[in-house]
Structure 1
Amino acid sequence: MDKKPRSTGALSAGADTTTSAEPGERQESRDGNVRSILKAVSVLDCFSRIDRQLSVAEIAARIGIPRATAHRIVATLQEAGLLERERERDHYRLGLKLFEYGTIVLSNMDLHREANPFVEALTKVSGEAVHLCVFDGMQTTIIDRTEPERSQRHNTIVVLEASPAHCTSTGKVALAFQGEEVIRKVIAMGLRRYTANTITDPESLLNELDLIRRRGYAIDNEEKDVGIRCVGAPIRNLSGRVFAAMSVSGPARRITPARTEQLAPMVMHYAGAISAQLGYRQPGDADRSGRVFPIDLDTSSDGGQR
């Protein structure tokens, strides 16, 4: 006796439901992974040049998550080498793995690669030390430096050295061309005094930044280190945003106030040349003095990238 085939409608509907649910489940899983990554980044963001070491409780309070969750994230970051634990107490600091990533970033940066000949040329023309720095929104980090006494061959090890923005020529000139929010954030972090010449009054710093914007360069008048005077100029990326700076630095007895007026056009010229090399274009690109300084693009004696 023939039997009627059983309807597969319910099974089909169930299969369809399962199939349609799978993409949603995958999306939910992806969203969860993204949230976990963002929480991990938030943990790393808790650390700064001021807060170099933090406990799990402090991290949890800062980003507003349960302490147990913070502990799991910290443990994972420690296992990955992104955080290191202090031996004597339950505190953590950023790990050396981040420094390794930083050196990789530097080696791939257009700035580090393209600025090389201009840094050398400015050293030759000025006869002084030259620093190339990047600005991270709070401070500047030296990614390259040359000394007039050195040969044209450079060290292959890059030393990352951070400096405050409010009392160095590279820091002030980079800060001057940022938005008000960034400037206010730097001020809110505190204007630490390093020497008798350090600007520690917010209003005085704002006036200084206004002067820098008008003349196009900054002077560190023994504000970070006694006996050292520097002249810095901004470096712009393709879109025109100031993200870096370069400076000439030397003993104050040699770089007198009068000599800073001679060095300023040189620094602006080479900083502008680097900006142009990175794709920035501005009508009438030239240093304000109208003078032309030599640019030696021969890097054959460098021994390669620094």
Structure 2
Amino acid sequence: MTTAQSHGSPITMIDRVASLLQVFDGHPRLTLAQIARQADLPRSSAHRILQRLVELGWVAREGYQYRLGLRMFELGSKVVQRERLHQACLPFMYALHRSTGLTVHLSALVSDEVLHLERIGDWPEKGEGWRPGGRQAAVHSAAGRAVLAQLTEAEWPELAFPPPATVYGVHSLAQLRRDLERVRDRGGVAIDIQGCSAGMTAVAAAIGPSGSDLRAALSLCGPAGTMSAQEAGDTVRITAMDIWYATSGMARRPGRSARVATITHAVRRTDITPAY
């Protein structure tokens, strides 16, 4: 049976929820009657949806009035925080790419995957999973394992272990645990040598200390056998920490190496407009 939409009224549940939430734009508190009228919903439908949103924390009820709940604020704050992180990372990423010649990724842990938010560099040319907006299983990604190493197992999302692309990939929970111990021993640097993709080495470090709710990582990748994982790991770890200091407003720690000072100097001079 085909359902038609009449008089512009929302017909699907997602349309109804969206229409209901949008009425709070510019209106901190509204009654049920006001919400139903402005959302163009039957009063009974508006009440039923509101009750569920109150249970989820998306909407809060105060007497006869409703307002957006803390959960909506938390989700909105994460979006703002991630956008600010993205913008703050760009000059560091361009400087890191220019100083190393390697491809730089900014990635975030989303459920059991890493989502690539930004990429500076053209290599590898193939593989949609490496492009901005691409996703990869967290257990198969250096960026994903760098973030997971900062979390307790109780904080992990429910992880999936899809077949790895190569024999060097992570196959099991036991193997993942061993790898994360090595990440912690290296000061938070995750190294993936041809595990996620044949012919590629990737190193990553989480942005921010343990306990940070960013759950994002900076990574460098290049052809296996031609890039030094140790040197690249040191560079990406220190740059990730510098990004954290820059975004948090904390004073930078003393005693940075000459190499990092050079990178930081390049960051200050780098135009964040893409070079390509």
Provide the TM-score with structure 1 as the length reference: 0.57
- 1:247 alignment partner, SS class: strand
Letter in 1 for 2:94: E
Report the CA distance shift for 1:144/1:302 in structure 2 as closer, same or farther (over 3 A). same
Once the two structures are TM-superposed, the CA of residue 236 in structure 1 deviates from its matched residue by: 2.1
- Asked if the contact 1:123–1:146 (Cα under 8 Å) also holds between the matched residues in 2, the reply is yes
Distance 2:156 2:81 in 1: 29
SS at match of 1:297: helix
* Alignment-mate amino acid for residue 202 of structure 1: L
Query: Given the alignment of the two structures, is residue 115 of structure 1 paired with residue 89 of structure 2, yes or no?
Result: yes
How big is each residue's C-alpha offset from its partner over 1:230-266, in whole Å with a ceiling of 9 and x where there is no partner? Answer: 11011128973351001110110312xxx11111111
Letter aligned with residue 236 of structure 2: V
SS in 2 for 1:123: helix
Gaps of 5+ in 2: 1-30, 36-42, 57-78, 124-130
Q: Which structure has the larger Rg?
A: 1
- Alpha-carbon distance between aligned partners in 1 of 2:49 and 2:150, rounded to the nearest angstrom: 37
| Cα shift readout 1:17-42 (whole Å, capped 9, x = no counterpart) | xxxxxx799999776323455899xx
The aligned amino acid for 2:90 is N
Which residue among 210, 224, 237 is the counterpart of 2:181?
Answer: 210
Give runs of aligned pairs for residues 8-157 of structure 1, distance below 5 A. 32-35=48-51, 109-147=83-121
The count of residues paired between Structure 1 and Structure 2 equals 208
TM-score using structure 2 length: 0.62
Equivalent pairs: percent with the same residue? 20
Q: How well do the aligned residues superpose, as a CA RMSD in angstroms?
A: 4.0
Paired letter, 2:235: M
Any conservation in 1 of the 2:108–2:216 contact (CA below 8 Å)? yes
In the alignment, which residue of structure 2 is the partner of 1:44? none
Change (3 A) 1:213 1:112: same
- Judge conservation of contact 1:237–1:243 (CA < 8 Å) in 2: no
Contact between 1:235 and 1:274, CA under 8 Å: does it hold in 2?
yes
Q: Is the 8 A contact 2:148 2:156 kept in 1?
A: yes
Q: 1:107 to 1:244 in 2, by over 3 A?
A: closer
1:90-110 deviations in whole A, cap 9, x for unaligned? xxxxxxxxxxxxxxx589711
- Paired residue secondary structure (1:132): strand
SS in 1 for 2:147: helix
1:287-302 map, 5 Å: 292-295=261-264, 296-300=267-271, 302=273
Q: Distance in 2 between matches of 1:148 and 1:208?
A: 28
